[in-house]
Structure 1
């Protein structure tokens, strides 16, 4: 009997995602870190931190979990203690990525809507502090994750793989933890990003209307800068919302129905929904590079330079 269709899709999807996503994030980190992209140091810090978090998501979830399970099921990485650690680190990276997106959205909200506060809050130092706090809290939040798994099977007295403990759904403290996890990621980020974007767009539309009335022209450099800022902001946060939607809905189902995580009946609708949600949220970890390339001309120029450099070196070596 062949593998379930959803597993066959995963076995093709995740390697392609790793092949595309890891280099994309590495290139993004290189370009942004060089500081030649034309963005402020504050924005650059957030974007670099988001790219690093996304890179770790691809490493821990896509490579060390999904691809490892598909192609190396009995490697040492599948030993239960290592599997638990990998899952915990994966969620640390995932939460960091999500909350850095929220932090970036809030930073742009302040920069656009509150000019007086902008000079104090939208600084490189503040960005560094916010990033450090987000990463620390993500680690702290996911410490219990290590203890919520048990071995999926015992082979020659060796525990292999990870499976959510049955007590996770029965003991009140775990139920509270699951509620907090759902609220913190992804419910609150969803609401925060939608609200902040709505307020930011409203402010920009009102400001543009006023400036257009005063200047009597659409050729306003300030309006053009705001337009570019809002395109970047909406592209990043909109991509996050769309790609996390299925995973968000599955978390809601777990809270209000008898659905559980990591069920093994792969033809069950909720299992397909869960696995599809994981695939889409992993995709969100490599989309920002393409968003920058499409929406930002300076990024495209830097990307071309980065791509051409190794090609030029290879050509010179051949000659």
Structure 2
């Protein structure tokens, strides 16, 4: 999941937007390279989204099914899921590689990328774009919400059983560290689902509006251009927040991160003592 998010950051903000602003005549604007970058943007985003769904399913199995956990939550299963999700995401986004055509032919080389006329006029492209824009935030959101609700229900049931075994009243659980961890887990699960749909919402709405209004030429000062840039920024941010939320909230990861930060300092002290 982290690797897919890193590819989103490399392909979208760096290869796409940074290159367009600061390196307008670089090899990245050769039509073939531009198409490759465009496909990589969509493929990495799709992979990141489905990796988040796969991680949610993994947490659901680990918490709700103890017997299945030993068979499913293994390195072999994880490798198979990662490989399958990556391949399917890359295949599903192949049509986006043909979104652009050549803008100019210079010395027999195709340069720049312009929208093909068929994209704005073809009903097939319209259906594909609307399906893609609704499918990606819609289906993953429903799946994450469903599995998170089932996971939370399991956590709450276990919490009620724990309170019964400990003989505590509902108002006396503040000293129970296990109960606090479960509350944090519930907040974490729903923060993932909520942030996903909020950050993707602007892109979905704007893409549908642009398709209906058939407005694809955007000037820099146009409010629609500002909306487009903002929606793109939020979508890219969505691909990074889930990894940060999942990882930074884990105690073991924070401990290892502290050790990594302290390691150079400790190494210097050891050298100085010698």
Structure 2 residue aligned with 1:7 = none
Q: Map 1:14-29; keep pairs closer than 5 Å.
A: none
CA displacement 1:281-304 (0-9 Å, x = unmatched): 222344356435752333222112
Task: Find the aligned partners of 1:205 and 1:279 in 2 and give their Cα distance.
Answer: 36
8 Å CA contact retained: 1:259, 1:270: no
Structure 1 alignment gaps of length 5 or more: 1-49
Equivalent residue runs for 1:239-318 within 5 Å: 239-254=195-210, 257-261=212-216, 263-288=217-242, 290-291=244-245, 295-310=249-264
Residues 12-59 of structure 1, C-alpha deviations (whole Å, 9 max, x = no match)? xxxxxxxxxxxxxxxxxxxxxxxxxxxxxxxxxxxxxx1101111111
The superposition leaves residues 182-225 of structure 1 with CA deviations (integer Å, 9 ceiling, x where unpaired) of 24322211222223323332332233223323432335565455
Task: Quote the offset at 1:314 in angstroms.
Answer: 6.8
Q: What stretches of structure 2 of length at least 5 have no aligned partner?
A: none
CA contact (8 A) 1:292 1:299 kept: no
SS class of match (1:160): strand
Cα gap change, 1:124/1:80 in structure 2, threshold over 3 Å: closer, same or farther?
A: same
TM-score normalised by L of structure 1: 0.72
Q: Any idea what SS the aligned residue of 1:162 has?
A: strand
What is the TM-score with the length of structure 2 in the denominator?
Answer: 0.83
SS of 1:287's equivalent in the other structure is helix
Q: Which whole-Å CA distance do the structure 1 matches of 2:37 and 2:3 have between them?
A: 17
CA distance in 1, matches of 2:138, 2:215: 18
2:38 corresponds to which residue? 87
Matched, 1:142 2:97: no
Deviation of 1:254 after TM superposition, in Å, equals 4.0
Residues 260 and 153 (structure 1), Cα distance of their counterparts in 2 relative to 1, 3 Å cut: farther
C-alpha separation in 2, matches of 1:197 and 1:150: 42
1:203-242 equivalences under 5 Å are: 203-217=154-168, 218=173, 223-242=179-198
**Correspondences of 1:104-143 after superposition (within 5 Å):** 104-143=55-94
Distance (whole Å) between structure 1 residues aligned to residue 206 and residue 130 of structure 2 = 13
Distance 1:119 1:176 in 2: 42
Q: Which residue of 2 aligns with 1:68?
A: 19
Q: Which residue does 1:182 correspond to in 2?
A: 133
Residues 307, 285 of structure 1: CA spacing in aligned structure 2 closer, same or farther, 3 A cutoff? farther
1:112–1:237 Cα change, 3 Å: same
- Counterpart of 2:6 (choices 29, 36, 55) is 55
Among 160, 185, 189, the alignment partner of 2:111 is 160
Q: In angstroms, what is the RMSD of aligned CA positions?
A: 2.9
